Amino acid sequence: MKIDSLKDWGVGLDKPAIIAGPCSAETEEQLLETSLRLKEVGINIVRAGIWKPRTRPNNFEGVGEDALRWIQNVKKETGQKFAVEVATPKHVYEALKHNVDVLWVGARSTTNPFAVQEIAEALRGADVPVLVKNPINPDFALWLGAIERISNVGVTKIGAIHRGFSSFKQTKYRNLPMWQIPLELKRQLPDIPLICDPSHICGNRDLLFSVAQNALDLDYDGLIIESHRDPEKAWSDASQQITPEILGTMIKNLKFRTATSEDKDFITILSELREQIDHVDKELFDIISQRMEIVEKMGLYKKQNNVTVFQKDRWQEISDSRNKWAGELGLNPEFMWDLFKLIHDASIRRQEHIMNTPIEKLDVTAK
Ligand code: PEP
Ligand code: MN
């Protein structure tokens, strides 16, 4: 997949790319004031939703095409670039006609391949950067598929926005970050600029900073943050927006690290530590292999004695002791339990295989 790097998008972006602006354009005056105040804190690309996908009808659905004229006026006045969400071919045509600089595909659209394909067809031949938000549900293939559809019509200025995944569980996030999904995207498409949207992940102002910092520490290429001149009075997503000034302070306090360093000492020390890690990991694998051998012996022994693979009491005992060990070693018990369950599941499957295989076909010499 051909993906241009951020600095070749022609909209003044480079890593770290910071896009900010209101969830929704509300009035021309609100858009102008917010943009001017954002410019003061160094924001050169303003986001603004003008067609808002709402979960239920009769909520504010965006001001629509009027905002495209406001955007043109604000652009003339401030020199900033603008990004808007497009959800239908008509949105694409209108946005391009009014010289919107960056388009994004929203999370609800990404969940629907028909919608994405229609948007993609409307983009054919256009030389505009397109950012694809992750789908609402944690389905990696849907996200990748949407990016592929946009790429297949010839768009090369493509980026991905990580806005978190909805969950039926009540958590401290509005949308769970599930960092492993965007990191898998970056593994499969190493050139794609990956931008974090902490506003929609958090749904509130309190967690914004830590989620943004986490994304930067994971080497994301940028952030897109909702910022409003008067957040409490915003017509949509009021609880997660921040003023341009607070955004400015937040950006000053964030640590922007680099993925590599030219420093010789750093390179030497890091490679020594990596050698140590490789060594420890090899030991971990050896230990798991030894564990599997014991599991096989036990499986055979249970089979010979007509005993079930799984025993309830033993499982309780395992759970208690492993949690206790995690605590004693200062390890996160939840993480250790998840890891242990994977190992245990594999062991059970191994023993089930032994149960289902005739003795004479088994290559195990347990006594
Ligand atoms: C938005 O960016 O305001 C928006 C609607 O986001 P999402 O598509 O991530 O829900
Ligand atoms: Mn929003």
Task: State which ligand 1 atom lies nearest to the alpha carbon of 53.
Answer: 5
Q: Is there a contact between 86 and 54 (Cβ–Cβ < 8 Å)?
A: no
Q: 11-27 pLDDT, tens per residue?
A: 999 999 999 999 999 99
According to the model, what pLDDT value does residue 26 have? 97
Residue 365 banded pLDDT, cuts 50, 70, 90: low
Q: How far does the chain reach from its first CA to its final CA, in angstroms?
A: 56
> Considering the entire predicted model, what is its pTM?
0.83
Task: State which ligand 1 atom lies nearest to the alpha carbon of 107.
Answer: 8
Ligand 2 centroid – CA 143 distance (Å): 19
Q: Which domains are seen in the chain, by residue range?
A: 6-253 (3.20.20.70), 264-361 (1.20.59.10)
Q: 192-214 pLDDT, tens per residue?
A: 999 999 999 999 999 999 999 99
Q: Is there a contact between 43 and 49 (Cβ–Cβ < 8 Å)?
A: no
Cα(131)–Cα(206) distance, integer angstroms: 26
Residue 366 has pLDDT above 70, yes or no: no
Proximal ligand: closest to the CA of 49: 1
Tell me if 200 CB under 6 Å of ligand 1. Answer: yes
Tell me if 106 CB under 6 Å of ligand 1. Answer: yes
Q: What is the mean pLDDT of residues 65-79?
A: 97
Tell me if 107 CB under 6 Å of ligand 1. Answer: yes
Q: 135-144 pLDDT, tens per residue?
A: 999 999 999 9
**SS3 state at 163:** coil
**SS3 state at 363:** coil
Task: State which ligand 1 atom lies nearest to the alpha carbon of 237.
Answer: 3
Give the Cβ contact number of residue 328 at 10 Å: 8
Residue 364 banded pLDDT, cuts 50, 70, 90: low
For the chain, percent of residues with pLDDT exceeding 90: 88
Q: Is there a contact between 296 and 364 (Cβ–Cβ < 8 Å)?
A: yes
> What are residue 196's DSSP bridge partners?
162, 223
Q: What is the mean pLDDT of residues 51-73?
A: 90
Residue 57 has pLDDT above 60, yes or no: yes
According to the model, what pLDDT value does residue 38 have? 98
Q: What is the mean pLDDT of residues 249-276?
A: 92
Best mutation site among 47, 50, 85, 195 for ligand 1, i.e. most ligand atoms within 8 A of its Cβ? 85
Cα(343)–Cα(321) distance, integer angstroms: 15
